[in-house]
Amino acid sequence: MNDLNIKPQIDRQSQTAVPVKIVGTDQGVTVVPALAPFACSVCGVEFTTKTGVGVHLHKAHGIVANSQIVVERKKFRWTDEEKRLVAHIEAEGQLSGIPPKGINAYLIENHPVRSVESLKARRTCAEHRQLVGRALHALKRGQMSPVLELTEDTPEVVVEESTSSFDVANDENGSFASVRASTDRVSTAKEVADCAVALLATVT
């Protein structure tokens, strides 16, 4: 009667378990290699399961195993440049009249490298709101005319034409009155002096 069993044996050269098949016959026990459909891609050692090949690959050939790992990064960090760019796009949308409910769609249209969920999460950040405020301020300054426009808070500067004489009516505090009076007194004294000189000249 034949008896079929699977028993692992140790290969002394590779120190790796090699599955073998023990077949019992009337003439005795014959050991034949079992079929191993999974082989190591580096050294060629065969295993009966894919898990066995994976364990062997990580233990015996760690560098090769790590190089075969391909992980797609679904989330990547926001760079400072991208943060400012998204804030600038949102500021432009607000100035162009995009309603608050349409900002997300506006952002995904102009910055499609990020998902809607990522942009929504970014907009809830306090840093993003600060960057949007700065972008709005910069855009508004860029749109203003270089000529200074007068507002209610801007004092109006009036340049008056210079006059040859003082006008007391234009002075509310009366500071020019004393100056005008002094000038009149000087003129009167000069006239008196001229008269005195003329009289002396006639006497002599």
Domain boundaries, the chain: 4-67, 80-143
d(CA 168, CA 176): 6
Residues of the chain short of pLDDT 50, as ranges, are 1-3, 10-21, 144-171, 175-176, 179
pLDDT of residue 151: 41
d(CA 100, CA 123): 11
d(CA 23, CA 32): 8
pLDDT of residue 117: 92
pLDDT of residue 176: 47
61, 40 Cβ separation under 8 angstroms: yes
Each as own residue / partner, the long-range contacts of residues 99-104 (CB below 8 Å, 24 or more positions apart, any chain) are: none
pLDDT of residue 199: 64
Residues 6+ apart with CB under 8 A from 48: 19, 34, 35, 36, 37, 38
pLDDT of residue 27: 54
The conformational region for residue 24 under phi > 0 = left, psi -120 to 50 = alpha, else beta, is beta
59, exposed or middle or buried, with CB in 10 Å at 0-12, 13-18, 19+? exposed
Residues 6+ apart with CB under 8 A from 35: 48
Q: In which element (H, E) is residue 94 found?
A: helix 80-95
The pLDDT tens digits of the residues spanning 109-159 come to 999 999 999 999 999 999 999 999 999 999 998 854 433 343 444 444 443
Question: What is the DSSP pairing of strand 46-47 with strand 38-39?
Answer: antiparallel
pLDDT of residue 147: 36
pLDDT of residue 76: 76
pLDDT of residue 126: 95
Nearest to 176, CA basis, from 167, 164, 188, 163 = 167
d(CA 24, CA 1): 8
